[in-house]
């Protein structure tokens, strides 16, 4: 049987999987080191590399770097090689045994009788045990590949959340910088009016304290940004001494695709769903293996025996040489492996129910995430079109009225704080939208174009027999 057929039958006929099947064939023929090197090259070849020393990285580039550099992913990929090794071992026959025998009465008597034999014995799997073992090992290879996809999906989700945290923090810092510039002008205006005797020192101090409050907030945000940036660097595989600079330009705020389309995408692309399908396939393979193992291997022995008999009262006998052929057939009467077969069948049902439960959770998760994104979009639109322009206009009118002596500094600070609070609420809502959008994309496995070899779970081509 062609060893690639099992992987193709297991539903991995995607072009990316064909590459890995080719790698398995190389490994099957003994090119172990070449397989490891080629697998690393294939994993990296799908990810365009980009120098990060001179320019800031956008989200997709940070994700690409994470897929290349993250050591947890390398650990997951190494398990593919381990599964390939187990598949190779599963196809090996038992070793041939050398049988030696010597029977003599030389120690106990002087008759000179002896019987000596030499031969070879070989176990023959007559019920297809090796083929069934290889079927199980092929599913293990497919599972290892899918676990790489699931590790990549989880990593990309963490990267996106950290990246969007930095985007939101930069928006907060940018807001403080604009307000600090405005407050500096307000402090200068208050100082000028104090010199003219129009306001007291209290007004100048109030404006200065508001300016200091904004500066302290900016310092706190800068520290938070540094911490999140290091978290992102760790996820992306950058060392402590390596610099990671990100481009935090605000992405386009657009509605997601229809929820029905996203649900179909999630069910066809989620690796964790595929893993449960493969778990059911493996259990069915284990059931067939247990059935085949009920018929243990037959043992065939072939050899030569020489013996000499001594009979009292008769002439000396010549040495006889004979060809030996033995066949040992275990009879499955007491143990037919029924317990192992029942356990494997139960495991298959367990995986089936778990897959159904996960599918239901995925559909509800995608629906909920989609609704959250749509509601946050409505809130952002209201902030952008009505609330923020009105708060900016109110604060500007308050500052103009203060310069003209129509309002006190307390009224200006109150209007300005209201503007800050509303802008901060807008940025918080924006951060929630970015995180919700990232969660929605994670729930639908939306970054499959970046993943090493994305799977397709839309069809259940399990290869079960």
Instruction: Give the model confidence (pLDDT) of 154-165 as tens digits.
Output: 999 999 999 999
3-state secondary structure of 382: helix
Residue 85 has pLDDT above 60, yes or no: yes
Neighbours of 349 (CB within 10 A): 11
Element (H, E) at 118: strand 114-124
Residue 69 has pLDDT above 80, yes or no: yes
pLDDT of residue 50: 39
Mean pLDDT in the chain?
Answer: 83
Q: Find out whether 129 and 115 touch, Cβ atoms under 8 Å.
A: no
pLDDT of residue 153: 93
pLDDT of residue 463: 42
Residue 5 has pLDDT above 60, yes or no: no
Instruction: Give the model confidence (pLDDT) of 175-230 as tens digits.
Output: 889 889 888 888 888 888 788 877 778 878 888 898 898 899 999 999 999 999 99
Q: Find out whether 148 and 73 touch, Cβ atoms under 8 Å.
A: yes
Length of the chain: 465
pLDDT of residue 41: 37
Closest C-alpha to 455, from 146, 153, 20? 146
- Least confident interval from 10-14, 87-91, 382-386: 10-14
Residue 102 has pLDDT above 60, yes or no: yes
Residue holding tokens 């100048």? 204
Neighbours of 249 (CB within 10 A): 10
pLDDT of residue 281: 94
Residues 299, 121: Cα–Cα separation, whole Å: 7
HSE (side-chain half, CA atoms, 13 Å) at 219: 6
Q: Which two tokens stand for residue 354?
A: 């778990």
Residues 184, 178: Cα–Cα separation, whole Å: 10
Q: Which two tokens stand for residue 198?
A: 């129009």
Residue 37 phi/psi, 5-degree rounding, is -65, -45
Instruction: Give the model confidence (pLDDT) of 241-293 as tens digits.
Output: 888 899 999 888 899 999 999 999 999 999 999 999 999 999 999 999 999 98
Q: Is the dihedral of CA 398, 401, 406, 409 positive or negative?
A: positive
Residues 371, 259: Cα–Cα separation, whole Å: 9
For the domain spanning 3-92+125-296+332-443, the CATH number is 1.20.1600.10
Q: Find out whether 39 and 20 touch, Cβ atoms under 8 Å.
A: yes
- What are the respective helix, strand and coil percentages of the chain, to the nearest 5? 65, 10, 25
pLDDT of residue 453: 63
Residue 23 has pLDDT above 50, yes or no: no
Per-domain residue ranges for the chain?
3-92+125-296+332-443
pLDDT of residue 53: 40
Residues 230, 241: Cα–Cα separation, whole Å: 10
pLDDT band at 109 (very low <50, low <70, confident <90, very high): low
Q: Is the dihedral of CA 404, 405, 409, 411 positive or negative?
A: negative
Residues 291, 412: Cα–Cα separation, whole Å: 84
Closest C-alpha to 17, from 148, 153, 131? 148
Q: Model pTM greater than 0.85?
A: no
pLDDT of residue 111: 65
CA dihedral 228, 231, 237, 243 (to 10 degrees): 40
Residue with more model confidence, 77 or 48: 77
Q: Which two tokens stand for residue 273?
A: 């769903």
Residues 408, 400: Cα–Cα separation, whole Å: 11
Cβ-proximal residues to 68 (8 Å cutoff; 6+ apart), any chain: 44, 47, 49, 237
Instruction: Give the model confidence (pLDDT) of 319-342 as tens digits.
Output: 888 999 999 999 988 888 899 999
Q: Find out whether 331 and 294 touch, Cβ atoms under 8 Å.
A: no
């Amino acid at each position: 049987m062609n060893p690639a057929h099992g992987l193709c039958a297991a539903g991995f006929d995607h072009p990316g999987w064909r590459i890995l099947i080719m790698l398995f064939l190389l490994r099957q023929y003994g090119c172990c080191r070449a397989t490891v090197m080629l697998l690393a090259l294939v994993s990296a070849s799908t990810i365009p590399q980009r120098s990060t020393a001179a320019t800031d990285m956008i989200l997709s580039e940070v994700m690409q770097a994470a897929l290349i550099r993250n050591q947890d992913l390398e650990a997951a990929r190494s398990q593919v090689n381990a599964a390939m090794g187990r598949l190779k071992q599963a196809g090996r026959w038992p070793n041939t045994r050398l049988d030696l025998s010597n029977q003599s009465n030389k120690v106990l008597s002087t008759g000179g009788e002896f019987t000596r034999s030499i031969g070879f014995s070989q176990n023959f799997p007559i019920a297809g045990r090796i083929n069934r073992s290889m079927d199980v090992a092929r599913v293990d290879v497919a599972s290892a590949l899918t676990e790489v996809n699931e590790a990549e999906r989880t990593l990309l989700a963490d990267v996106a959340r950290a990246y969007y945290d930095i985007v939101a923090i930069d928006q907060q810092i940018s807001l403080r910088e604009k307000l600090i510039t405005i407050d500096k002008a307000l402090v200068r205006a208050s100082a000028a009016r104090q010199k003219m005797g129009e306001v007291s020192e209290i007004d100048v101090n109030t404006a200065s304290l508001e300016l200091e409050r904004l500066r302290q907030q900016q310092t706190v945000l800068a520290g938070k940004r540094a911490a999140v940036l290091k978290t992102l660097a760790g996820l992306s595989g950058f060392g402590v001494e390596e610099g990671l600079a990100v481009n935090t330009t605000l992405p386009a705020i657009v509605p997601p695709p229809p929820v029905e389309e996203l649900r179909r995408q999630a069910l066809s692309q989620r690796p964790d769903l595929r893993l449960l399908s493969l778990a059911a396939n493996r259990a069915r393979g284990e059931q067939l293996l247990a059935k085949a193992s009920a018929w243990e291997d037959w043992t065939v022995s072939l050899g030569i025996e020489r013996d000499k008999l001594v009979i009292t009262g008769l002439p000396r006998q010549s040495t006889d040489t004979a060809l030996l052929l033995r066949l040992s057939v275990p009879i499955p009467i007491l143990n037919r492996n029924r317990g192992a077969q029942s356990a494997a069948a139960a495991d298959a049902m367990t995986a089936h129910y778990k897959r159904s439960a996960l599918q239901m959770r995925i559909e509800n998760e995608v629906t909920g995430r989609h609704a959250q994104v749509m509601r946050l979009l409505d809130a952002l639109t209201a902030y952008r079109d009505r609330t923020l322009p009105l708060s900016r206009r109110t604060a500007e009118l308050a500052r103009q009225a203060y310069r003209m002596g129509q309002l006190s500094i307390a009224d200006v600070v109150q209007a300005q704080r209201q503007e800050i609070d509303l802008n901060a609420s807008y940025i918080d809502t924006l951060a929630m939208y970015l995180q919700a959008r990232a969660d929605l994309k994670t729930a639908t496995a939306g970054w499959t174009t970046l993943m090493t070899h994305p799977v397709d779970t839309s069809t259940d081509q399990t290869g079960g027999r």
